[in-house]
Structure 1
């Protein structure tokens, strides 16, 4: 029988091994992507780190709106009337170019120049360390292997006991070990979902959200008393709803869901 110890003692050893394996997985996740270079991301880049391309484009349109160059047309279209704001980011300029003729929001997102600007933005964030490379995401995923190994050891003891007709402990020990094995395997599977953002980016977003907690839409800021920088910062950190408060019709045209209060959790992004 695996491995000459009583059921309760094996269960204690098993839980200790789970704790160690979980600590390894979490440490790898928290230490990957700590090193960054270059300047802190601007509001458009922060929006991408928060909720990817959709929010980055919404912040870009909000930038054009605050510059007074966006106008709403017929059939749910948008267009620009005037030059882009000075020192606009490449994505904002690409959105401005796409809106030189009336476009629906879906058409804007499908514009080749917008797509190229988004790819360059992602390239910069990866190069500077704010987004994880494929190799780094694989490293985070591999950090969960000890959890699956511990789960396999626990299942091996249960199977060995069943096949050989031996005791794996009392009913409580057997049920406890089985539940622990399932929980360990599910925890490893959950941790295999690797965020695209590195540890430095996640820490930066947490720090900025604490610093700008007064801009959280749940605090109901008076946007009529706030400047452009504060509006764009709020959108890039907390999601697009501030634009709905400033211009509800424009917010609806760019696909902002009034029922959604927060960006989706990061863990949904990719499985390495």
Structure 2
């Protein structure tokens, strides 16, 4: 019997160790990327923080559509005729340049200038602390090692008892330890998947979603009565559903549909 502990006592110590290891992993995650510098993210940058490049580009096209109009042509092509909005974000400017000639949405996303603007935007977000660096993500993932170490101890206890024929406790405690080990491994695997956004970005998005709760899809806003800033803010924080309501034909060309309207990150926070 590992360390000579009885089944109930070992299980109690195991659960305590799991709680402590989980607290360590969550604490590391909550403080990584806590500090930022530079100005607050723009609307397009907020969209990237919410659901990465796809939503950022959709918000950029929505800005162009409200400013100059985005035309849906033959063979599912998109194009613009007018000038870009005044003082556009670099990504919006790149999207406008790409759409000066008719092309599909897939071609727009593959445009070199659009991708260059996206890389520069990501670089700014990383530099200012809104997105985590690879080193920060590695450190956060390493914070889950205590969980796997505790799980290894529990598995060792079970294997040692089975192989050596030793008593690991009454069947209920053995089953409880087995379930606890599985839960620990699953929890460690889940926590090892580190988000790109830092703690400051997640805090900012949560605060903005509370401040603009009237724009959430659940509130069913009347978009015909909302201005452009509210439309873009709603898309950046809650996903592309507003554009689907405003211009279904354009939204369909951008890959927006009723079954995929909420970013994963917002869907998780909305259930809390």
TM-score, normalisation: structure 1: 0.96
SS at match of 1:79: strand
8 A contact 2:131–2:197 mirrored in 1: yes
Map of 1:79 onto structure 2: 79
Ranges in structure 2 where 5+ consecutive residues have no aligned partner: none
**Cα drift, residue 69 of structure 1:** 3.5
Over residues 214-236 of structure 1, what are the superposed CA-to-partner deviations in whole Å (9 max), with x where a residue is unaligned?
00122111111111000000000
SS at match of 2:147: helix
**Cα drift, residue 267 of structure 1:** 11
**Cα drift, residue 258 of structure 1:** 2.0
Q: Flag the structure with higher helix content.
A: 2
Matched, 1:215 2:215: yes
Map of 1:146 onto structure 2: 146
RMSD: 1.4
Map of 1:253 onto structure 2: 253
SS at match of 1:158: helix
8 A contact 1:129–1:198 mirrored in 2: yes
Matched, 1:48 2:48: yes
**Cα drift, residue 266 of structure 1:** 8.1
Structure 2 matches for 1:20-169, cutoff 5 A?
A: 20-169=20-169
**Cα drift, residue 159 of structure 1:** 1.4
1: CA distance, partners of 2:83 / 2:71: 13
8 A contact 1:79–1:102 mirrored in 2: yes
**Cα drift, residue 75 of structure 1:** 1.5
**Number of residue equivalences:** 268
TM-score, normalisation: structure 2: 0.96
* Residues 198 and 266 of structure 1, relative CA distance in 2, 3 Å threshold: farther
2: CA distance, partners of 1:161 / 1:256: 55
8 A contact 1:78–1:105 mirrored in 2: yes
1: CA distance, partners of 2:52 / 2:99: 21
**Cα drift, residue 261 of structure 1:** 3.3
Map of 1:15 onto structure 2: 15
